[in-house]
Structure 1
Amino acid sequence: MRDLFRLIGWAVVDLLRSRAALEAEIWTLRQQINVLRRTAPKRLSFSVFDRLVFVGLYRLFPKICDALAIVKPDTIVGWHRAGFRLYWRWKSRRRGGRPKVPLEIRRLIREMSIANPLWGAPRIHGELLKLGIDIGQTSVAKYMVRRRGPPSQGWNTFIRNHADGIAAMDLFVVPTISFRLLYGLLIMGHGRRKILWFGVTPHATAEWIANQLTEACGWEQVPRYLIRDRDGAYGEVFIRRLRSMGIRDRPTSPRSPWQNGFVERLIGSIRRECLDHVVVFGERHLRHVLLSYMNYYNEMRTHLSMGKDAPVPRAVERVGHINCRPVLGGLHHQYLRI
């Protein structure tokens, strides 16, 4: 600031001096500049004030570039352009505008767009308005999840929409106390993972399996699709029975038990929770044990995939004394309020 006052003072004094005196001072200053150029370092440092002075004089008198000695004209032009950018950056700074969307609402928009791939910005915007969230539709479109292709439902949604019309079946082997092998037939519905039928036989023939399917499903409420493996026990008689009942046969690929994963998982649960702890005496005993487990599985056992509910929905009991009742001889227990 002191240099600025000094410069202004010398400018006022120069207005009162003669032209000859000014010319003599200019020659003296130029000679001093020549001496400084010989002894000064190659790169000089300029303060912000120095740059403002040079740029201001350049704006008022562009021809001063001919008198520059310690700085190049291109440098002065570069300083001027940098100042121009800073000025317009300050001129176009944000002065309010649209309020920023809170982080919680942005996360909610993203979750809604992921969970509902068929919804667009107008649909999500309408839901947000019904939730009391006042936000623009363009902001909703901004924070939605971007998808490369057209929206599509997930496999879980597809299976849930078709589960009521799908049934699955499989055979499993159970040894008896006399080392005799019995075959158990399991038929379950995909809708709520409910066990529809248990069959027991020492000889699993195609005709016997067809009769078991008829008894399990009847002739009125039959599933639309039936998933099974490619066991040789499912012969021509069984396939003809499926066609006569209007059921579409869907055998899995060879050596692909994961394609019938619900039944495979259920058979594992039957072994872990029941058969591994019981010595089977015979066909009648095995049938009794499996039917007892079916009642326990369908009406009492809670399932993680069904929101901790049973295949046959259980009402929540809040009043009464809690009573414990053994199931399957004490392997499991049922808790009721009385």
Structure 2
Amino acid sequence: MNSKTFVRSHMDVMSVADFFTVEVWTLRGLVRYHVFFVMNLAKRQVEVAHIGCQVNGAVMAQVARNMTDGCDGILKGRRFFVCDHDPLYTKEFRQILTDFEVEVIQTRVGCPQQNGYAESFVSAIKRECIDHMIFFSEKSLRRAVGQYIEHFHQERNHQGLDNLIPFPNSPQVHSQSGLIVKSERLGGLLNYYHREEKEVLAMA
């Protein structure tokens, strides 16, 4: 079974993950923050597992414990966790997931396309949001990431889902009539246009 067939066959129980970094201005000067996210592949649902400037083995071990919490861990119901060979995926990190019966699948070195869904999200959030902003605190970074993820879930069409929106916050209207309404986030950096349902007036 090739990798594409494997992904299609196990998408409902698979999560993919990746990091990206963002430079943030603080009282200490320019500080590099790491954003670690996990995507539920079948739903294209992204959750941030960690944002911080301190990322090491101990931090990642705690992140792994949070992700595998039996009540509300984001890997609950997952069987496979796909990531690259970043050293932050330590032996302890991988063992915690394995003990939770989640198999860790690490892509081949130099083959980012094997984790294409995660790589695509990183490219999108940087291109559409992060690269257009200057951050002066961790709070501002968290707000931007949170707003983009809401946009990604509720307002952005996904080609891999037949151009549908995963979790639309308004009904998707396919008619050619009705008022076009614009919604925006982050001061207009993220825009969403949708057609409102045309009201049908009851006959007296």
TM superposition score category, shorter chain reference: 0.7 to 0.9
SS at match of 2:86: coil
Q: How does 1:160-239 map to 2 (within 5 A)?
A: 160-177=8-25, 178-216=29-67, 218-219=69-70, 221-239=76-94
Taking the aligned partners of 1:165 and 1:289, their CA distance within structure 2 comes to 29
Q: Which amino acid aligns with 2:70?
A: W
SS at match of 1:176: strand
With over 3 angstroms needed to count, the CA separation of the structure-2 counterparts of 1:157 and 1:243, relative to structure 1, is closer
1:157 is displaced (CA, Å) by 5.4
Taking the aligned partners of 1:154 and 1:235, their CA distance within structure 2 comes to 27
Q: How does 1:144-159 map to 2 (within 5 A)?
A: 158-159=6-7
> RCO higher in 1 or 2 (8 Å CA, sep ≥ 6)?
2
Taking the aligned partners of 1:157 and 1:312, their CA distance within structure 2 comes to 26
Q: Which amino acid aligns with 2:16?
A: A
Taking the aligned partners of 1:156 and 1:306, their CA distance within structure 2 comes to 16
Q: Structure 1, residues 263-296: CA drift from partner, whole Å, max 9, x if none? A: 1111011110000101011222111111111111
Match of 2:125 among 248, 270, 277: 270
Taking the aligned partners of 1:234 and 1:156, their CA distance within structure 2 comes to 23
Taking the aligned partners of 1:218 and 1:292, their CA distance within structure 2 comes to 25
SS at match of 2:30: coil
With over 3 angstroms needed to count, the CA separation of the structure-2 counterparts of 1:332 and 1:217, relative to structure 1, is farther
* Structure 1 ranges of 4+ moved more than 6 A: none
TM-score (norm 2): 0.79
Q: Kindly indicate whether the alpha-carbon contact (under 8 Å) linking 1:222 and 1:245 is maintained by their aligned counterparts in 2.
A: no
1:312 is displaced (CA, Å) by 2.2
With over 3 angstroms needed to count, the CA separation of the structure-2 counterparts of 1:335 and 1:211, relative to structure 1, is farther
Q: Kindly indicate whether the alpha-carbon contact (under 8 Å) linking 2:35 and 2:48 is maintained by their aligned counterparts in 1.
A: no
1:209 is displaced (CA, Å) by 2.6
Larger Rg: 1
Q: CA RMSD in A?
A: 2.4
Taking the aligned partners of 1:155 and 1:238, their CA distance within structure 2 comes to 24
Taking the aligned partners of 1:240 and 1:255, their CA distance within structure 2 comes to 24
Q: List runs of 5+ in structure 2 lacking aligned partners.
A: 198-204
Q: Kindly indicate whether the alpha-carbon contact (under 8 Å) linking 1:205 and 1:234 is maintained by their aligned counterparts in 2.
A: no
Name the structure 1 match of 2:172: 316
1:244 is displaced (CA, Å) by 2.4
TM-score (norm 1): 0.50
Q: Kindly indicate whether the alpha-carbon contact (under 8 Å) linking 1:242 and 1:248 is maintained by their aligned counterparts in 2.
A: yes
SS at match of 2:88: coil
Q: Which amino acid aligns with 2:100?
A: M
Q: Kindly indicate whether the alpha-carbon contact (under 8 Å) linking 1:198 and 1:290 is maintained by their aligned counterparts in 2.
A: no
Q: Structure 1, residues 63-108: CA drift from partner, whole Å, max 9, x if none? A: xxxxxxxxxxxxxxxxxxxxxxxxxxxxxxxxxxxxxxxxxxxxxx
Taking the aligned partners of 1:297 and 1:210, their CA distance within structure 2 comes to 28
1:163 is displaced (CA, Å) by 0.7
Name the structure 1 match of 2:200: none
Q: How does 1:288-307 map to 2 (within 5 A)?
A: 288-307=143-162
Q: Kindly indicate whether the alpha-carbon contact (under 8 Å) linking 2:68 and 2:97 is maintained by their aligned counterparts in 1.
A: no
Normalized per residue, the structure richer in helix is 1
Q: Kindly indicate whether the alpha-carbon contact (under 8 Å) linking 1:198 and 1:291 is maintained by their aligned counterparts in 2.
A: no
1:242 is displaced (CA, Å) by 0.5
Taking the aligned partners of 1:154 and 1:170, their CA distance within structure 2 comes to 22
1:173 is displaced (CA, Å) by 1.3
1:155 is displaced (CA, Å) by 6.4
Name the structure 2 match of 1:61: none
SS at match of 1:180: strand
SS at match of 1:209: helix
Q: List runs of 5+ in structure 1 lacking aligned partners.
A: 1-152
